[in-house]
């Protein structure tokens, strides 16, 4: 499978879990001219220490940017900052990875959790896509090649089978995470509609399920290590074409039905 050779990449929630692992793997194998904007809520805080260390190792490849998906002004400020650093090449690859989980069922889900998951997992990515769209369009135009790929211009939304109408019912007993599942179903719809809107601009949009991964969100019982999940996701991302536009795949490249 092809590698991710996108020049300018932006990843949200890059200070820990899958986002941090993605920055790590990309920076270890970074191709010439590749630059990674690793965004997180609190670049100077204790939870971003591992990312700061990684950025120190690859100072010409990684720039840490503050971005809180819950805060529209922070999203706007991040886009202004990244825009000033991008030049005329634009942004090739936007990975909406930041996300939160909340447990609950019809009978127990708290209103607060419904609001918070929708805010972070749906409204945040919507604002992020909107603010970064001019730079994605710029990259699509600058590429001068027909078709779609992550090296040209792409939005990859890190979703989950918990947001799949067909898959969630069979795991719901084991994972009673209604607020999370409902928000990620909304995120999947956002992906499909973004794909529809950006078809003419040749900006590839799709959703990716990382598998069940040992992170703070996935928990210790999960079956995959972040290293394996991210290696798989990067293989998939690198191989995407216009055939995958609006689609939903897992880290192994298997189709997930919405």
Which residues lie near ligand NDP (CB under 6 A)?
12-13, 15-19, 40-42, 47, 67-70, 97-100, 120, 124, 158, 160, 209-210, 212-213, 215-218, 222
Minimum Å gap between C-beta 171 and ligand NDP is: 11
Nearer to ligand NDP (CB atom), residue 8 or residue 120: 120
Nearer to ligand NDP (CB atom), residue 67 or residue 140: 67
Nearer to ligand NDP (CB atom), residue 124 or residue 186: 124
Minimum Å gap between C-beta 219 and ligand NDP is: 8
Question: What does the DSSP assignment read for the chain?
Answer: ------SEEEESSTTSHHHHHHHHHHHHTPPTT-EEEEEES-TTSGGGHHHHHHHHHSTTTEEEEE--TT-HHHHHHHHHHHHHHHGGG---EEEE-------B-TTT--HHHHHHHHIIIIIHHHHHHHHHHHHHHHHHHHH--SS--TTTSEEEEE--GGG-TTTHHHHTTT--BHHHHHHHHHHHHHHHHHHHHTTTTT-EEEEEE--SB-STTT-TT-SB-HHHHHHHHHHHHHT--GGGTT-EEETTS-B---
Nearer to ligand NDP (CB atom), residue 152 or residue 181: 181
Minimum Å gap between C-beta 90 and ligand NDP is: 22
Minimum Å gap between C-beta 191 and ligand NDP is: 12
């Amino acid at each position: 499978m092809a590698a991710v050779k996108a020049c300018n990449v932006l990843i949200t929630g890059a200070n820990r879990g899958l986002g941090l692992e993605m920055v790590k793997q990309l920076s270890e194998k970074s191709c010439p001219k590749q630059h990674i904007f690793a965004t997180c809520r609190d670049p100077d805080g204790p939870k971003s220490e591992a990312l700061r260390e990684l950025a120190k190792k690859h100072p010409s490849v990684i720039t840490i940017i503050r971005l809180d998906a819950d805060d529209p002004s922070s999203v706007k400020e991040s886009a202004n900052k990244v825009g000033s650093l991008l030049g005329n090449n634009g942004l090739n690859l936007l990975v909406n990875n930041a996300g939160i989980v909340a447990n609950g069922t019809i009978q127990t889900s708290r209103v607060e959790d419904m609001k918070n998951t929708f805010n972070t997992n749906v409204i945040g990515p919507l604002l992020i896509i909107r603010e970064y769209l001019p730079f994605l369009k710029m990259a699509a135009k600058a590429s001068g090649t027909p078709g779609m790929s992550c090296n040209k211009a792409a939005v990859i939304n890190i979703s989950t089978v918990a947001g799949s109408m067909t898959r969630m019912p069979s795991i719901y007993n084991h994972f009673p995470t209604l607020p999370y599942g409902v928000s990620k179903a909304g995120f999947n719809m956002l992906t499909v509609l973004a794909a529809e809107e950006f078809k003419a601009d040749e900006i590839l949009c799709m959703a990716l399920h990382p598998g069940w991964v040992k992170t703070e969100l996935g928990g210790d019982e999960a079956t995959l290590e972040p290293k394996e999940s991210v290696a798989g996701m990067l293989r998939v991302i690198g191989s995407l074409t216009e055939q995958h536009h609006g689609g939903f795949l897992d880290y192994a490249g298997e189709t997930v039905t919405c």
